Each structure stands twice: as C-alpha cells, then as structure tokens.
Structure 1
C-alpha cells in the first residue's frame, strides 16, 4: 500500500516533477535561451532582463538569474553599461527587442517549461497575511473560507496551504485541521539555532559548485544596493537575501541538508514581510555589508572564513528580528480574515 506523503514531501515531489524533465529549472531556461541565441531567433545585441524573461517562463527571477550567469560564463551574453545583459559579444549598444514566446521556441508547439500553478496567484499575499497573523498567536484556518475569500477553488487554497506547511508557517493538528503556528520568541530562537548550525556547513559544501560568474553577479548587486540604500524596494531586499541564503546555498550537493534548512527559511520570510511593509526601512542597512563580507571570502576561495562570517551574520540578526516582531505585536492589531479564528491547544 502506498502511504500518503506529508506536506513537505509532496512539495518536493511536485518540484521534482515540474516541467518537461527533472533537471533544474535554471538549466532548462539556459538551454532554451542558448538555442534561441544559436538559431538567431534572439538577435545579437538584444537586451535581456530578468523580469520579462521570467514572465515568459512562468518562473521567478531566481532561476533566470542563474541561467544568465551560466550564459555569461559561456560567452553567449555580456554585461554592458546598463541594466540586464546583451546577446553576443562586441561593443554595440542594446537592441530593444520585444521578447515573445515564439522567439524562444515556447509557442503552442513548444509550451512553457513550467505552467504556473493556480496557488501562485494567491500565495505571496497569503504568506504575508499569515506571517503577520502568526505574531499574534495560534489560529485555526478554514480551508473552505480561505478559498471563498480569495475567489479560488478549494484545491488551489489547499495547495497554497501545503506550501506554507512546507515552510512551517501552518501545520495540521491531531484532527487534521489547518492551524497557523504562532511566532513567539522561543520559536524564533529555535529556528535560528538551525540556521546557525547548518547554513555555514551548507555554504562550505556549496562553494566549489557556485559558478564564478554568478558569484560575481551577486557581489555586484550587493555593491550597487549598498551604494543606494535605503532607496531600495522590498523586492530588491528580498532578492539580496535570496542570493545568499537560498540560491548560493542551493548549490550544496547534500540535498538532505537543504531539506533540513527548508523550515528554518521561514525566518527570512519574517524579515521580508515586516521590513518595508509594517516597518520603515532601518536607518542603517540591516545586512548588505555582512553579505558582502561573505562573498569577499568566497572570492578568494576562503570557504572557512566565508562560513564563519555567515555564522556571525545569522547570530547577530536574531535580536534584530525579535525586536521587529515585538514592535509589530505592540504597535499593530491584526485584521482578522474571515478564514481564521484564534485557537488554543
């Protein structure tokens, strides 16, 4: 008899099955772009930007960014004095071409690599709502009411909750009811213990596999952000966190280690949904210089120093996050959504 998978296992299985094959999405995006360049469908000098390309592949920008790094390393695209990349080599300026699915071979005869599932349309706002609500204790979540409130089918609502379950934001109680896990100080400390112990190890394992071009691109984004802070969007700040804590560590070949880190990643979501949303940007930038120090160590192949720098960065971030959550709890009252009611164990 086949046992039903728990939420995390289901997410991992679906991620492995996504697309036309099981290779990572960024490699498939790279291959499609490389073929379009080689065939001439993408002309020399064409401007490639992460956002429009991600839209054509129904993906986030992270795998597109990884694909661009590999294409740059191969000489298929190049940087220039502007945002994005240009196809081919040379000194000519950007050729602003309106990218289409057909140019990339993604027309009806070759559909997109990954059809965006329905839950993605509601996920980001739902995650933010859940994170804010978790600050105020445990709540029971009604799946039917959630679907009605968001104007989606029940399966879409369940799929979104399953993703939240994989991050430890919600869980099922002994009666298989969805419950929102409260975000108290002890839980934040527990999750930080996991990150302090495992992220530095994952970084050491990942370092030999991190493409130099992608590492340089991450460093440049940090330098540019540091120069203009606080004139940065919440999305830009989240991208910088993603570069180090998710994309970079994602090159670790120990998949079990990455699975163990998945739930602790929730702490990144807390900062993302509080800084710049419920709170103003801090007067002093919160992490950019610390991330730069990690990449500086990686640049000289000193993975031990990079790991120790990362460990220190995670350790000193804990009081900041605890403080922001405490301020949120004191200064705001949650708007109680129709699908949530306070619960006690």
Structure 2
C-alpha cells in the first residue's frame, strides 16, 4: 500500500484463527506471548535491544507480525523505542532481582519457530489482506496462475488459498466461472448486512442453550473493559470483540450448515480487520460496544429471544457505519498494483 505509511501487505502471517474463514493463527500474538514471558522472567533483561528483523528470524515469521508484536509490547509498557532503530526492554518494578545487563535476542532456537505447517497458510493471510484492502475501491479479478507465480508456490497451493477465500465469502465466481472479489459498494454492504440480520439471530437462539460456562461473563468483562477505555483501544481489540460475539459465541449454535451460510456473509468481519486498523477512531466512542453488551446481558438474563432482537437491531444499524469506514479508508489508502489482481471497472 502507498500513502506515506508502511504497506500492510507483508502482514502475511497475521490473521485470526476462525476455522470457518480458513485463516492462519495470529502469529504476532504467539510471538507477543513468548516475548512478554521472556521479559517477565528476565530471559530478556532490561536494556535488551529488539528489532523486527531479529524477531522475524527468531520465530520464522515475516517482519509485519514481528512489528505488531513489538508495537503491542510497547503499548503494554514492556519495551520502549531505542535510539536509532528498534526497541529496548524497559526496567519495570515487577522484575526485582533480574539482571539488567543488556543482551540481544539469541537466534537458532527451533522450538520457538511459529511458521504454519500448511503451505497455503504461509500466504493466505497476505492474500486475504491484499484483497480486502482493495475492495473498498472496486471489484477485482483473481488470477490463479499469477497468484502461484507471485508467491512461487504450486497451483495446488494457490487453489487451496482460493478455496478458503471462497469459504469466507471474500471471493466468488462470475458467470464465466472466473474468480473475483466484489466491491464493498453501499449496495453490496446492504445485501451482506441484510443476510446477516436474517441468519445470525437464528444462530444466536440455537447457541443460547449450548454456551459453555463462563463464556458470557468473559465476553461481558471484555466489553465492559473496552467501554471503560473506549478512547484508548485500537483496531485489534475492536476486531477481537467482533469475533467473540459473531464467530465464537454463534459457533455454539450446533448447526454447521447454518454457520457455513453465515460464514459466507462474514467477509464483512474480515474486511473490518482491515477497516478497524485504519479507522479505529472514526467515531468518538465505538458504537458497537454497548450494542454487543446488550446482546450478552440479555443472554445472561436467560432471554435468548430478546438477545436475538438486540443482535438484529445491532446489525441493522451497523451497515451505515461500515459504509462510513469504507469511505474513510478510500481517503487514506492507495493500493499498489499486484500481478494476480486485476481491477474490474
């Protein structure tokens, strides 16, 4: 991407782990957890310098998830920007007795590598991200042969990626059986949201009797924490909260066919990962937070019908906000040409 900011496209291995979307696990979160643990244990003492390239090499990931792990460590107060480039581990009160001798992150520990095992997973996140970043501007044809050539993978791997893009609703076939990603026009957004408010409340009612103990209290606590810090939360948190309600909770409905039908419309959730990243402060406070909380509270009160009604209302009012985010992204981001994506005007 080109807009004076670093391109998002290299975030190839950084997607959520929804089994219906086919996305690879979030590698930046895995790297973050390990690094935070090493800092807390003193394996990485105060003064240790960390950089994207070193972390990427350590974990066998691209620089983009390494960059996001470092940014989150900084947000948590565990590291700070170093002079020149990179970061250094901060001294904290919670690590008494830990050596403060600066060190560097050692390489070569194979048990720390986070590379996904499946070939398609290694490129899926980036392909999905590149497509989603462009559908705000128009529709795009996806060329399987060029996709394989671009990433130097087999046509079989390219087909696996395309199959999962289709499962998540990101791409579809035209009348000539060619793959394309439809533009997020206001009309298309309306259609997707209409299908969602017809399907998701039904799944919610079915899920209500199957929810594991503690799930609703955890979701409520997450939402209340986000509402209390509404001016501080970023796009990753907004994306996680969306996934908790619309994917994790609904996934307990027990009707796989219904969930597959919903997943085909949840390309909007995938798009929101990108949209939230660029527009986390589009509204003074994020409107969906109290709306999600209303759904959870009605479920906790034992009233799944009222919860379904609250979910439907949430989805009805959300479509205009999604269109506003798309319009805001168009003003900020300018996509680079890619050999496997052709703009359809």
The answer to whether TM tops 0.5 is yes
1:245 maps to 246
Q: Which residue of 1 aligns with 2:187?
A: 186
Deviation at 1:279, TM superposition (A): 6.0
Paired with 1:279 and 1:295, the residues of 2 have a C-alpha distance of 23
> Mapping of 1:5-20 within 5 angstroms?
none
CA deviation after TM superposition for structure 1 residue 165, in Å = 1.1
1:310 matches 2:308: no
Residues 192 and 315 in structure 1, CA contact (< 8 A), matched pair in contact too: yes
Instruction: State the 1:265 CA deviation.
Output: 0.8
Secondary structure, aligned partner of 1:209 = coil
Aligned length: 239
Q: Secondary structure at the match of 2:180?
A: strand
Q: Is the 8 A contact 2:234 2:280 kept in 1?
A: no
1:117-169, Cα deviation, whole Å (9 max, x unpaired): 22222222221210121222222222222223234333222211111111222
Q: Does 1:271 align with 2:272?
A: yes
What's 2:146 paired with? Answer: 145
Aligned to 2:168: 167
- Shift, 1:208, TM fit: 0.6
Gap regions ≥5 residues in structure 1:
1-14, 19-114
Structure 1 residue aligned with 2:337: 336
Asked if the contact 1:230/1:281 (under 8 Å) is kept, the reply is no
- C-alpha separation in 1, matches of 2:294 and 2:163: 36
Greater CA drift, 137-146 or 293-302: 137-146
Q: Distance in 1 between matches of 2:280 and 2:149?
A: 30
- State yes or no: 1:235 paired with 2:236: yes
Q: Where do 1:100-115 residues align within 5 Å?
A: none
The verdict on how the C-alpha distance between 1:231 and 1:238 changes in structure 2, with shifts beyond 3 A counting, is: same
DSSP-derived class of the 1:139 partner: strand
- Alpha-carbon distance in 1 for matches of 2:125, 2:228: 28
- 1:212 is paired with a residue whose SS is coil
Structure 1 175/146 Cα, relative in aligned 2: closer, same or farther at 3 Å?
A: same
Q: Distance in 2 between matches of 1:171 and 1:316?
A: 26
Name the structure 1 match of 2:125. 124
Aligned-residue offset at 1:243: 0.9
Partner of 1:202: 203
Question: Is the partner of 1:336 in helix, strand or coil?
Answer: coil
Give the TM-score, by structure 2 length. 0.62
Inter-partner Cα distance in structure 2 for 1:322 and 1:296: 28
Structure 1 segments of 4+ aligned residues over 4 angstroms from their partners: 278-281
- Residue 101 of structure 1 is matched in structure 2 by none
Q: For the structure 1 residues 279 and 236, does the alpha-carbon distance in structure 2 shift closer, same or farther, using more than 3 Å as the test?
A: closer
Question: What residue is the counterpart of 1:287 in the other structure?
Answer: 288
C-alpha distance in structure 2 between counterparts of 1:264 and 1:234, whole Å: 21
Contiguous gaps of at least 5 residues in structure 2? 1-18, 23-115
TM-score normalised according to structure 1 size: 0.62
Q: Secondary structure at the match of 1:276?
A: helix
Q: Residue by residue, what CA displacement relative to the aligned partner does 1:275-312 show, whole Å, maximum 9, x if unpaired? A: 12366453312311111111111111011111111111
Alpha-carbon separation, structure 1, partners of 2:280 and 2:300? 34
Q: Bigger shift: 219-228 or 316-325?
A: 219-228
